[in-house]
Amino acid sequence: MTTSSGTPGFLERLSSLLMREPEDREQLIKLLQSAHQRKLLDADALSITEGALAASEVTVREVMVPRPLMEVIDAKDSLETIIAQVNRTAHSRFPVVEGNRDQVIGILLAKDLLRVQRGDDFRLRDWVRPAIFVPEFKRLDGLLREFRVSRNHMAVVIDEYAGVAGLITIEDVLEQIVGEIEDEYDFAEEDDNIHLDQSGLYRVKANTSVDDFNDAFGTSLGDGKSATVGGLILRQTGRVPAVNETIAIDGTSFQVLRVDTRRIYTLLVSGPRHADAPA
């Protein structure tokens, strides 16, 4: 359909563009980029489409939560222990193991605990749902389809010897497609890694180097192995901390503002020397 001014309309321009059938993935991406340049696709739509195409080349192993960082519940744990772990981690799903991490017997949904009436007759096995297992070399696009069909949000990843290599959630897959989802605790990429918070404390990106942090705050943190503040905290705790959890290192306190199942993003720093940081 041509407009009254004689210029092609939106549908006509889109049809004309798509009539040039791409012969391979590279040509398809160039075609999409051309559509963006012609304002047929906005930047977000282009980014999501490119992410969806890239997902077919990324394996589960590349984005999974590795075995040592998995938060699991033992089949012998009491209801009190399980509730404490749910509150500490703020996760919604947990693999349930029997004896060791290679013996996953199912998945526990934290929301199911709300239906527990009495703790004295609680049997964890009654609340465990079936787990799905996927090989570590499975592609993300195939896994996403499997999640949709099975209506599961978490899968246990196994290696070639049938041992547990890690776990992956539907959120991990979607983040690979749509990109990192930011929240109110994030600040612009171009901003400094250390940012004055409205509370008078400092928000710090977890990927800030330990050296830069020490220079800014006048501290002498470091373990000789960790290059970033986030890495330092992971080595200190031996796990991924929960949101709002506070970790103290040599008199400096780090409150976790934003974290996912694999990494720390943003921290709120307080301590005896926080006022020395630059404004």
pLDDT at 201: 84
pTM greater than 0.75 (yes/no):
no
Dist CA 124 CA 128 (whole Å): 7
Asked whether residue 144 carries a pLDDT value surpassing 60, the answer given is yes
Dist CA 239 CA 273 (whole Å): 26
Q: What band does 2 get if pLDDT is binned at 50, 70 and 90?
A: very low
pLDDT at 27: 66
119 C-beta neighbours (distance < 10 Å), count: 10
Q: What band does 11 get if pLDDT is binned at 50, 70 and 90?
A: low
Judged by DSSP in three states, 115 sits in: helix
| Better-scored residue on pLDDT, 193 or 49 | 193
What phi and psi, each to the nearest 5 degrees, are found at residue 192? -60, 155
Dist CA 237 CA 244 (whole Å): 14
Find out whether 166 and 157 touch, Cβ atoms under 8 Å: yes
How many residues are given for the chain?
A: 279
Dist CA 138 CA 218 (whole Å): 47
| Residue that is written with structure tokens 């981690």 in the block | 89
- What number is the average pLDDT over the span 72-79? 92
Asked whether residue 152 carries a pLDDT value surpassing 80, the answer given is yes
Dist CA 123 CA 116 (whole Å): 10
pLDDT at 274: 45
Asked whether residue 186 carries a pLDDT value surpassing 80, the answer given is no
- What number is the average pLDDT over the span 154-180? 86
Express each pLDDT in 53-74 by its tens digit. 767 778 899 888 888 888 899 9
Q: What band does 276 get if pLDDT is binned at 50, 70 and 90?
A: very low
Helix 25-37 / helix 10-18 crossing angle, nearest 10 deg:
160
pLDDT at 46: 63
- What number is the average pLDDT over the span 143-153? 90
| Residue that is written with structure tokens 């547990």 in the block | 164
Domains and CATH numbers, the chain: 10-57 (no CATH), 61-178 (3.10.580.10), 194-276 (3.30.465.10)
| Better-scored residue on pLDDT, 138 or 272 | 138
